[in-house]
Structure 1
Amino acid sequence: MNDHHTPVLVGAGQVSERLGDPGYRGRSPVELAAAAAALALAGVDPRVVDTIAAVRQFEISTPRAVAPLGRSDNLPRSVARRVGADPARAILDVTGGQSPQRLVTELAASIAAGESRAALVVGAEAISTIAHLMRSPDRPDFTEHAPGGLDDRGYGLDGLVDAELARHGLTSAAAQYALFENARRARLGQTRDEYALGMGALFAPFTRVAAANPHAAAPTERTAEELVTVSERNRVIADPYPRYVVAREKVNQGAAVLLMSVAKARELGVPAGRWVYVHGHADVRDQDILARPDLSRGPASALAVTDALAQAGATPSDVAAADLYSCFPVAVTNITDAVPLTCPLTLTGGLPFFGGPGNAYSLHAVAEAVAFCRAHPGDLALVGANGGLLSKYSVGLYATTPAPWTEQPDLQGQVDAWPKVAAATEADGPATIETYTIRYSRDGRRTGIVLARLDDGRRFAATADPALLTTGEPVGARVHATSTATGNTVR
């Protein structure tokens, strides 16, 4: 297989800083991304890069987000300028954890089509550094201007923000994902304690990987019991999540990967042993949460993994290493419930332990996949990147074995044709709870929130007395809904 347009990953880099560590420099997101890009470009003239794409930082991910220390007005070109590149095209992608893998897939497709010959994907966050420096009287200014064109794709918040959920207090990712988690617990017929230990057992191996990763933000090995035992340090964020099983956003991390055509890699003398091929890929968006028939699953994500495996002619047991997006336990089990992977499920250590650098986490996963494939020639590595409320999923399958570029079938058409549940913004009358959570504030306040179905089948969000949700099994309980000017309630 010698198609000179075939895309290969030829470089990958990661950098990190932890407050208080020797050599800590307090670098900006641009500086971290540029340092990672320099590693990805090692031995390659940066002037060959014709396309650079950046993952959107948290501080520019929503209309209300702020960059308290300033920011670049053209993130990808700021990075390019620092490493000596002057690409014809610069991209700033939409918000969401799917973005890194989706960009790798998009740029690989562009190379396969002959539209690009060398492309760089970068992403970084300095959330921990920025919080630290905001407390300093001598604050730096990270503002900078980078001239040149920019394909700014906007926030892309469809599937990430739901106004009806927000109206009823479901504004945090932990509270939103807790809905899936509690629905899954009820489907499995487990008690709260049984399910908690299952979350701990899932993530305990992740902590071992993080403990050995020099870039991990929390490199501490913990037992399953430690992860889910509530304490002053491990307080409950939203039922059923204590802090230790929730993605850690206060990190300083950057990553980058370099893609080329086989012809360009050969022309530049990049050793073939460093080439990593894309064996399968998929990108899909699930139905909005209120429309999904089963709130314990995100079936589009599992469909994406299954299809990527089919493209590669592989089975789940053929995957030697995987990194499944792990912002919360259900993001992992949503895949493993449907796809029986037998390999370890993280390459980095996972978002709660390695750290969750904003939208850019899975770029570290891709970088780790490149390293794994080079160290294990012929073995298959899978990266699953999740965005929104189990909403947007991007998958990449990687190996050093040569493979032709393949096009994804119309998965989105399949998902769009699935049955949908009708929603009610004003809910009155008898109803049945489908799932729930209790949101815990630092000051001790609790807010009960449910998703329920009226007897006519319409689904709605509502607030509830937390006492209703702390005893017995709330899922399946019969309640009465009442609509008000500020939202729905159940009793």
Structure 2
Amino acid sequence: MVDPRTPVLVGVGQFTERIDDPDYRGMSAVELATEAVRAALADTGADVAAVAKAIQVFAGLRQFEICTPYASAPLGASDNYIRSVARRVGADPARAVLESIGGNGSQKLVTEFAGEIAAGDIEVALILGSENGSTLKTFAGQDNKPDHSETVGGQLDDRGYGFEQYMSEYTAKHGLTGAPVQYGLLDNARRARLGLSVEEYRIQMAELFAPLSKVAAKNPFSSSPVERSVKELATVTAENRMICDPYPRYLVARDTVNQGAAALLMSVDAARKLGVAEEKWVYLHGHADQREQDLLDREDVSISYSSKQAVAEALRGAGITIDDVATFDLYSCFPFPVFVVCDDFGLAADDPRGLTLTGGLPYFGGPGNSYSLHGIAETVAAMRDKPGAFGLVGANGGVMSKYSVGVYSTTPVGWTADRSKELQADIAALPKVAVTRNANGAGVIETYSVRYDWPERTGVIIGRLDADDSRFMALTTDPALLALMTDGDPLGAAIAVKSTDSGNRATLR
């Protein structure tokens, strides 16, 4: 017996619309989320209308189209995404919450509202997310655009964009305006630490991700259900073109997708009253949320304290070790977030348990901030199929900036708070690297990426000044340096950097 306030996941749902589907509609973010929520309600096996009316909190993840204050949604959007979905499924929650950006948000919200249920503050909560990138791309530039605008009003706890945690005026000025280049810096820093060549590291990345594509090929919700070999992932071709060094396209999250997911949480007492069978219940055994230092402050950008501490704390809370985990779904927008967890916990690319249940962001699909909600949905389904087993979800946000973890099982367990706040103090106490904003003089390349996605191919550099070992950022279009960055190995290369009105510029010494 557990406390009747103990939170359990009782329903999960997913929906994917592929552009090559014969009935492709080009759905809105609201429509995609609605389909997923309907699936989650049906998954409870209880009276759908009664369950919908019992939901007190609808909490949603922010889509790309509403992730910035600087541009409006190209096809229009609801003024209250959360309540638009709620209205369509016959719900009228007391609270609607729109989470700030970050791929960790799905797990963070599950943990947050599970905690509120355990405290007796609420009894039923729904987490939802969707991404309509395929629709936006399909109708871009067309005259017959649909209008997805809606005005529903109502209460909304909008938690803001939160992108200031991932970039600054200084980093944006030096090319860090997209995820591939940011993670390229991290993966190349890891390559430097391991002492691998460009080719060796590309093979290692391909060996990590090829098994993910095999899972995606069998998942009916995948946006790209195609199994790809190590050679195919590692070979640069016109189709598998370079995006940002070190990534060819097949190693990058696929964000042009139409996908939605939802997860329904209840107290044990509410689940019983609403008639949800116990075989549907999945418990959150361990959980943790950790935040990394800002990118340029980190003493070693090739590692992640936040993921290491979050995974370790979630395992501790569950009372298990990594060897006891039966399934994993590790956030895989790029190789780096998977590598760091594997490095810290001794997981191999070919671990027989697998590192994903969905198929990973480049193959299953990368629906923005809501990817890990699909990972949670798959984990809940897997735990029902393996009663008593444990499944771990690792959700990553920003530039390896925030990491949230959940450990799930059908085994009944009471709610236990985690030590995330205390552990966060360990990260806050880490030393910080001195940064020189206006850099001049001799230096070396600490890590780098190359932006092939810009009109002019441009090198992006994090370096160290010879004079004081302070860190700086710089861009380069210097032919000699760019040639080394694209066709050779510039790690540790001697460069000269000069401050200009438009940022620091580097040349080969």
Give the match for residue 378 of structure 1: 388
Give % identity: 55
Report the AA paired with residue 435 of structure 2. Answer: A
Q: Provide the rounded CA distance (Å) in 2 between the counterparts of 1:65 and 1:316.
A: 43
Q: Is the 8 A contact 1:317 1:340 kept in 2?
A: no
Q: Does 1:182 align with 2:188?
A: yes
Structure 1 residue 66, shift from structure 2 partner: 2.5
- Please state if 1:459 is matched with 2:471: yes
Cα deviation digits, residues 208-243 of structure 1 (max 9, x gap): 111001111111101011012111111101111000
C-alpha separation between the residues in 1 aligned to 2:323 and 2:227? 27
CA deviations 1:309-340 (Å, max 9, x no partner) are 11111111111111111000111101111122
Equivalence for 1:426: 438
Give 1:352's aligned amino acid. P
Aligned counterpart, 1:17? 17
CA RMSD of aligned residues (A): 1.4
Alignment of 1:131-142 (within 5 A): 131-142=137-148
Deviations along 1:415-463, one digit per CA (max 9) or x if unpaired, are: 11111111110112232221011111365x3111111112313111012
- Report 1:80-479 matches (<5 A): 80-341=86-347, 342=351, 343-409=353-419, 410-441=422-453, 445-455=456-466, 456-464=468-476, 465=478, 466-470=482-486, 472-479=488-495
Q: Is the 8 A contact 2:198 2:489 kept in 1?
A: no
Q: List per-residue Cα deviations over 1:80-109 (Å, max 9, x = no partner).
A: 100001111110110111111111111111
Shift of 1:41: 1.0
In the other structure, the counterpart of 2:33 is 33
The answer to whether the Cα contact below 8 Å between 1:159 and 1:392 also exists between their aligned partners in 2 is no
SS of 2:116's partner is helix
Contact map agreement 1:74 1:146 (CA 8 A) in 2: yes
Count residues in correspondence: 490
Once residues 213 and 286 of structure 1 are traced to their aligned partners in structure 2, the CA distance between those partners, rounded to angstroms, is: 32
Q: Which amino acid aligns with 2:24?
A: Y
Q: 1:65 to 1:348 in 2, by over 3 A?
A: farther
| One-letter identity of the residue aligned with 2:6 | T
Structure 1 residues 177-219: Cα deviation after superposition (integer angstroms, max 9, x where no partner): 1001111111111111111111111111111111001111111
Unaligned residue ranges in structure 2 (runs of 5+): none
Q: Does the aligned pair in 2 maintain the 1:421–1:457 contact within 8 Å?
A: no
CA distance in 2, matches of 1:385, 1:177: 15
Equivalent in the alignment of 2:501: 485
- Tell me the TM-score normalized by structure 2: 0.94
Could you tell me how far 1:471 is from its partner in structure 2?
Answer: 5.6
User: Which shows bigger deviation, 271-280 or 157-166?
Assistant: 157-166
SS of corresponding position for 1:395: strand
Q: TM-score, normalised by structure 1?
A: 0.97
**1:246–1:327 CA contact under 8 A, matched in 2:** yes
> Can you list the C-alpha shifts for 1:459-485, whole angstroms capped at 9, x where unaligned?
110123312424654222232322122
Residue 290 of structure 2 contacts residue 424 of structure 2 at CA under 8 Å; is this kept in 1?
yes
User: Aligned partner of 1:134: which letter?
Assistant: A
Amino acid at match of 2:61: V
